[in-house]
């Protein structure tokens, strides 16, 4: 599986995270520290409204260069070390570990997003066994993301977040004859999905959303307005890579949990 690793830079750390990094004696001064989100949909990055971590996953800070640090699962860092992403082949230098819980509320910069600053929010359904364990949220085009932000906004106190962090409007990115310009919102409604726990319906919704965008979708935002998603996808990906905001991240097939399993 080929993902695009999106660099989502941390602009402001939550207090808990600062304490943990202080204890680990990590020098973060003047460094570019990014959470790495693995995505199959680089063309949707204009519509990022937050970035999800699992409160139950432990993430690592890995040294990528003297000035750059990536945050992801240890599994992903190991994979990256065999893809010329870390300085030494087979090695990912761990600087500190941090719980997803401690990252919630961090102020971040999501490349290409129309929102200049967004927040890290919790998503309970993230799998540690897939991607980087970090998921960037595009509620306009990802049914899982839309269901999650609706849930977070509804129960903000329970999740220990500010309601506004989960209330940014989904942005139209792609239009299709069948679902209009907020595909995920339309499909979640059509399948009567009530919460992120509606697993089977969400899996079905995702399948429909992928196919609809890829075969029928046209871009309505960004550098490739009017172009087919099928074509624009790689162009946006290449632009992100050229800007230093992303890189190709491959996942060995055997390690990917299949959608049906």
Nearer to ligand ZZB, 17 or 185 (CB): 185
Q: Which of 135, 171, 202, 219 binds ligand ZZB (CB under 6 A)?
A: 135
DSSP 162: -
Greatest pairwise CA separation for the chain in angstroms: 54
Q: Contacting ligand ZZB (CB under 6 A), which of 10, 21, 31, 41?
A: 41
Residue 39 vs 176, nearer CB to ligand ZZB: 39
**Two tokens, residue 172:** 């139209």
Q: Tell the smallest beta-carbon distance from residue 25 to ligand ZZB (Å).
A: 29
Is residue 105 left, alpha or beta, with left meaning phi > 0 and alpha meaning psi from -120 to 50? left
- DSSP H helices in the chain: 15-23, 74-81, 100-103, 143-154, 156-159, 183-190, 199-216, 229-242
For every residue of 59-128, DSSP letters joined together read EEEEEEETTEEEEE-HHHHHHHHTTT-SSSTT--EEEEEEEHHHHTT-EEE-TT-SSSSEEEEE-TT--T
Q: What angle do helix axes 183-190 and 199-216 make, rounded to 10 degrees?
A: 140
Site for ligand ZZB (CB under 6 A): how many residues? 19
Instruction: Tell me how far, at minimum, the Cβ of 132 lies from ligand ZZB, in Å.
Output: 7
SS3 of residue 249 by DSSP? strand
Return the number of the residue (21 or 251) whose C-beta is nearest ligand ZZB. 251
Between CA 115 and CA 219 the distance in angstroms is 18
Least separation, in Å, of the C-beta of 58 and ligand ZZB? 14
Task: Rule CB under 6 A: choose which of 40, 225, 243, 248 binds ligand ZZB.
Answer: 40
The smaller minimum CB distance to ligand ZZB, of residues 89 and 259, is found at 259
Coil vs helix vs strand at 229: helix
Residue 130 interacts with ligand ZZB (CB under 6 A): yes or no = yes
Question: Is residue 200 at the binding interface for ligand ZZB, with CB under 6 A as the rule?
Answer: no
Residue 116 in contact with ligand ZZB, rule: CB under 6 A: no
Least Å from the CB of residue 93 to ligand ZZB: 23
> What's the CA angle centered on 5, arms 100 and 98, to 5 degrees?
20
Applying the rule CB under 6 A, the residues between 140 and 179 that interact with ligand ZZB are 141-142
Is there binding between residue 69 and ligand ZZB (CB under 6 A)? no
**Structure letter (DSSP) for residue 131:** T
By the rule CB under 6 A, 120 interacts with ligand ZZB: no
Regarding 82 and contact with ligand ZZB (CB under 6 A), the answer is no
The rounded distance, in Å, linking the Cα atoms of 183 and 251 is 27
Question: What minimum distance in Å lies between the beta carbon of 195 and ligand ZZB?
Answer: 16
User: Interface with ligand ZZB includes 131 (CB under 6 A)?
Assistant: yes
* Candidates 36-44, 58-66, 83-91, 148-156; binding stretch for ligand ZZB (CB under 6 A): 36-44
- Smallest CA-to-CA distance from 202 within 220, 181, 188, 186 is with 188
Positions in the binding site for ligand ZZB (CB under 6 A): 38-41, 44, 126-127, 130-131, 133, 135-136, 138, 141-142, 206, 209-210, 259
């Amino acid at each position: 599986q080929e993902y695009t690793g999106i660099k989502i830079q941390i602009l402001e750390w939550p207090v808990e995270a600062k304490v943990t990094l202080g204890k680990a004696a990590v020098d973060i001064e003047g460094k570019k520290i990014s959470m790495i989100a693995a995505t199959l949909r680089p063309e949707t990055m204009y519509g990022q409204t937050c970035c999800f971590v699992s409160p139950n996953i432990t993430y690592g800070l890995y040294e990528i260069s003297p000035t750059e640090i990536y945050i992801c699962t240890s599994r992903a860092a190991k994979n990256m070390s065999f893809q010329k992403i870390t300085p030494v082949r087979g090695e990912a230098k761990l600087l500190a570990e941090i719980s997803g819980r401690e990252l919630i509320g961090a102020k971040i910069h999501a490349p290409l997003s129309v929102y200049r600053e967004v927040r890290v929010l919790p998503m309970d359904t993230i799998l540690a066994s897939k991607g980087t364990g970090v998921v960037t949220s595009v509620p306009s085009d990802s049914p899982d993301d839309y269901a999650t932000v609706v849930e977070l906004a509804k129960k903000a106190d329970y999740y220990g977040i500010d309601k506004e962090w989960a209330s940014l409007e989904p942005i139209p990115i792609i239009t299709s004859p069948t679902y209009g310009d907020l595909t995920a919102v339309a499909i979640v409604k059509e399948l009567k999905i009530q919460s992120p726990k509606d697993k089977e319906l969400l899996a079905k919704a995702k399948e429909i959303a992928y196919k609809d965008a890829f075969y029928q979708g046209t871009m309505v935002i960004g550098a490739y307005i009017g172009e087919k998603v099928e074509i624009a996808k790689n162009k946006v990906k290449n632009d992100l890579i050229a800007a230093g905001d992303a890189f190709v991240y491959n996942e060995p097939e055997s390690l990917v949990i299949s959608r049906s399993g």
